[in-house]
Amino acid sequence: MHRYLPEILMAEDSANDAELTIGALAEYNLANRVTLVGDGAEALDYLNRRGRFAGRTGPNPILLLLDLKMPKVNGLEVLKQIKVNPELADIPVVMLSSSCEELDLNEARQLGASAYVVKPVRFQDFVDAVKTIGRFWGVLNMLRPRACIGALENIDAPERRAEPKAL
């Protein structure tokens, strides 16, 4: 039997932050595949199925973890382009940033970010923040079955429901 789990896209230019985030999600026991891109231009190419991602099939990711300060195209510009595209606008976007500047937070909110998480300096705080994102994703996965339409044809009904896990 084929089992479909929605994918998470992560746009992060810091290999260390990406590794910590993916490790924390794994510690939370999320089985979803996390696709990592290294900058904002790659994130847009992935979402719009351009360039090296032109052959990408399947639905859009269930969640985008988006770093604010990235090369080529910054996170706020990526967010802006996603939210004006009807094919992408319903993807929840969690902004990840070491910036706690109110200007960045307000702009992310105005552009349609679902959440804004300041990257903590201490490792355990970072893991806890990512676990919170995992809880956030679990609730979204239960509330957004439309993201899986067309990909769930061979799945039994009980397997379609994702249960958020308690920490």
- Residue range 54-97, pLDDT digits in tens: 999 989 998 899 999 999 999 999 999 999 999 999 999 989 88
pLDDT tens figures, 153-167: 333 333 333 333 333
Residue 35 counted as domain residue: yes
Residue 3 counted as domain residue: no
**CA gyration radius, the chain:** 15
Task: State the Cα–Cα distance between residues 43 and 69, nearest whole angstrom.
Answer: 13
Residue 115 counted as domain residue: yes
Residue 166 counted as domain residue: no
Residue 123 counted as domain residue: yes
For the chain, the domain total comes to 1
Question: What percent of the chain lies above the pLDDT cut of 70?
Answer: 69
pLDDT tens figures, 19-29: 888 887 777 66
Cα dihedral across residues 36, 101, 128, 62: positive or negative: negative
**pTM of the predicted model as reported, rounded to 2 decimal places:** 0.75
Residue 167 counted as domain residue: no
| Per-position b or e across 126-135, b if 16+ CB within 10 A of its CB | bbebbbbbbe
Residue 2 counted as domain residue: no
Spell out the residues 6+ positions from residue 145 whose beta carbon is closer than 8 angstroms to its own. Answer: 160
Give the CATH number, domain containing residue 59. Answer: 3.40.50.2300
Expressed as residue numbers, the domain containing 142 is 8-160
